[in-house]
Structure formats: C-alpha cells, structure tokens
Amino acid sequence: MSSIMQPILQVKDLCVQFKTVNGIVTAVNHVSFDISQGETVALVGESGSGKSVTSLGIMRLTPPTPRVSLTGEVLFQGPRDEVAVDLLKLSEKEMRERRGRDIAMVFQEPMTSFNPLHTIGRQIAEGVRLHHKISKAAALDRAVELLDMVGISAPRERLNNYPHEMSGGMRQRAMIAMALANDPCLLIADEPTTALDVTIQAQITELLLELQQKNKMGLLFITHNLGVVAEIADRVMVMYCGQIVEQASVDELFEHPSMPYTQGLLKSVPRLQLDDDHQQKLPSIPGYVPSPFQLPQGCKFGPRCDYFKESICHKPQSLAEIRPSHWIRCERWEELEEGA
C-alpha cells in the first residue's frame, strides 16, 4: 500500500446532470470524496452506476452546457499550486493546461482513445510538447523513455507503430505512458484492465501500482473487479445509481461490508471451492440497475435488496459514519449486523 500524504483532490457535492429529450438525468448525485498524494482510491460499482461520468466530470470532459450541468466543487491542489483551485470554475483554456500536466486519465479502451491515423510515438510526443517548449526530437526521446518505463520492448522501434499494430496489452501500456508523459500528480484510471485477459490484467495492475508508488501520485482507480481492488486500493468507494453508498478503507470494507449492495458485490466474486461441491451456484444480485428516468423513492437499491423494509427504506437514505472512516447509506445496517 502507498504512503498517504497531503490531499490533492477534494470533490464536494459533485452533480452531473444530462439534458435529454425525455427530461433531466442525474448521473452523479451529490458525490463527495478526497484523494491524498500517494493514495489509491478505488471507485467500484456495476455498469451504469455513474463511475465513469464521475471521472469525466472531474476532468471536465463531459459535453458543454446546456447539454450537461456540472455543479459542486472539484478542488485541486498540486505541487505547483499555492492554494486549491476549483476545476469547475476554470476556463476551457485553463483546464486544457491542467489536463495531461497535473491530472491525467487512462481510458478503458485505448483503441478508441488513440488516433488511428497517427503513430504511437507522434501522439505521445504531442502530449509532451503541448506542455513543454522542447524540440520534436527531444519529445520523441521522452516517448522512448516512457515506453521503456511501462515495459514495452524495443521502445524506439515502437514509436513508428500505429495503434492497430499493437496488442491490447501493449496499447494499454502505451496509453499509460502517454498519461504519465508530464509527471501528473493525479492519475484517473477508468477500468484500464476490463478488455484484457487475466494475465495482462495482473501485469497492468502491478504496473500502475509500481508507477503510483514511484511517482507518489494520487490514483483514482475505477473498476467493477473487487479482486483488483483488494490488491491495489487504500480506500474503497462503492457507487450505485450515481451515489456513494459505502466508503471505507480496503481492509475495513472487505472485513465488515455493511451495505447490502456491497455484500452482494462481494458474494458475487468467484472463489476456489475447497470442498467437493463443484455444482454450487455463484450468488448474484437480482434485477438490474434501474433506469435513471425511473429511480425508486427512498433507497435506490431497495427494489433489489433482500432486506428492504417499506416503513424504513422508503425515505431518502443519507450517508452516515457508522465506524471511524466507514460511511454507509443504509438505515437498517445495525439490525442487519446484529442478525448476521
């Protein structure tokens, strides 16, 4: 685990709303958290829970107003900043200067993130030259250094490769190299291992953790893979229907999951069976994430929850601290723990 240092990002009451032909959709609903320098925070949840939209809101990569409304505060204070800066109040030009230099992002599918018409070397070098006044040759040398750092063999030869000429694992490594080109102090990794096989997933996860510890970056790691979370995270935030429903240290969350949704996610993780019952069915959470146009009243997880109680769960659930640094959005957690 990394050595936690000073806070670099504070997200306060972040809301992301999309204007559609069918009405307003609140994809991120009053989300608050912070990330310290050298800390890895995992954001976990099913597809459609709002994880990626949260990261896009922080990076200001959502469509412009009036199609999308961003409210709340995203306070960032890197080594170059004397005071925290609210990223939501910066002009687009000021935000472009931040992206890639102070805050970088690794996207889920690099094949759709790289430009297929340009070589990998040119795209990495362009990111370097955007923030530094150096020659093209020097920028390409930096690209070679970065490709070597992320474990790509023969890095100078790889400069001339187009994205389609690389394997999925190599493209993801090249995407990480481009994200780290300007030594950012905060890295957002949006499901960087989803499209990769298990062996390459482990290599990419190990690489990210190694680079995070080496550069003392803050890391926001977005995933639905709780196995990866157990290996890489210091703290975990569980997200559902645009809300944080549980937040705790990784050890606390795995030892004492208190939100029924978190319990369901953990039970759904495949495990090696040590007995003779090879026909045991893997538990799953019933139902689906509800449509953003038809969110349930009260607890958003209510329709899928085995412990739903109309008299208690019908009202909006607030995020409350049940143990030191362990927050949960559930009114029935105490009686559920007593009955466990």
Q: Are residues 87 and 118 in the same domain?
A: no
Q: Are residues 149 and 263 in the same domain?
A: no
In a domain, 248, yes or no: yes
Q: Are residues 236 and 258 in the same domain?
A: yes
User: Residues 290-323: pLDDT tens digits?
Assistant: 888 888 888 999 999 989 998 899 888 899 999 9
Domain with 48 in it: 1-102+188-200+215-270+283-340
User: Residues 218-233: pLDDT tens digits?
Assistant: 999 999 888 889 888 9
Rounded CA-CA distance 4/225 in Å is: 23
Q: Are residues 179 and 192 in the same domain?
A: no
Strands (E), 178-325: 186-190, 218-223, 235-240, 243-249, 320-323
Q: Are residues 46 and 119 in the same domain?
A: no
In a domain, 171, yes or no: yes
Q: Are residues 92 and 115 in the same domain?
A: no
The dihedral through the CA atoms of 95, 77, 56, 104 has a sign that is: positive
Rounded CA-CA distance 340/336 in Å is: 6
Q: What is the pLDDT of residue 279?
A: 59
In a domain, 155, yes or no: yes
Question: What is the Cα 68 distance to its own chain's centre?
Answer: 20
Calculate mean pLDDT across residues 43-63. 93
Q: What is the pLDDT of residue 35?
A: 96
The strand order across the sheet containing 103-106 reads: 103-106, 186-190, 218-223, 40-44, 235-240, 243-249, 326-328, 320-323
User: Residues 103-112: pLDDT tens digits?
Assistant: 999 887 777 7
Q: What is the pLDDT of residue 237?
A: 97
Question: Residue 36 has which token pair?
Answer: 């310290």
Q: What is the mean pLDDT of the chain?
A: 88
Q: Are residues 176 and 192 in the same domain?
A: no
Q: Are residues 17 and 162 in the same domain?
A: no
Rounded CA-CA distance 202/93 in Å is: 37
AA letter at 64: P
Q: Are residues 129 and 90 in the same domain?
A: no
Q: Are residues 168 and 192 in the same domain?
A: no
In a domain, 73, yes or no: yes
User: Residues 238-265: pLDDT tens digits?
Assistant: 999 999 999 999 999 999 999 999 999 9
Rounded CA-CA distance 161/55 in Å is: 29
Distances (CA, A) of 218 to 4, 84, 174, 332: 9, 15, 20, 34
In a domain, 278, yes or no: no
Q: Are residues 144 and 63 in the same domain?
A: no
Q: Are residues 154 and 195 in the same domain?
A: no
User: How many domains are contained in the chain?
Assistant: 2
Q: Of 69, 319, 42, which Cα lies nearest the Cα of 192?
A: 42
CB 139 within 8 A of CB 128: yes
The continuous run of DSSP H or E covering 250 comes out as helix 250-255
CATH of the domain at 28: 3.40.50.300
In a domain, 210, yes or no: no
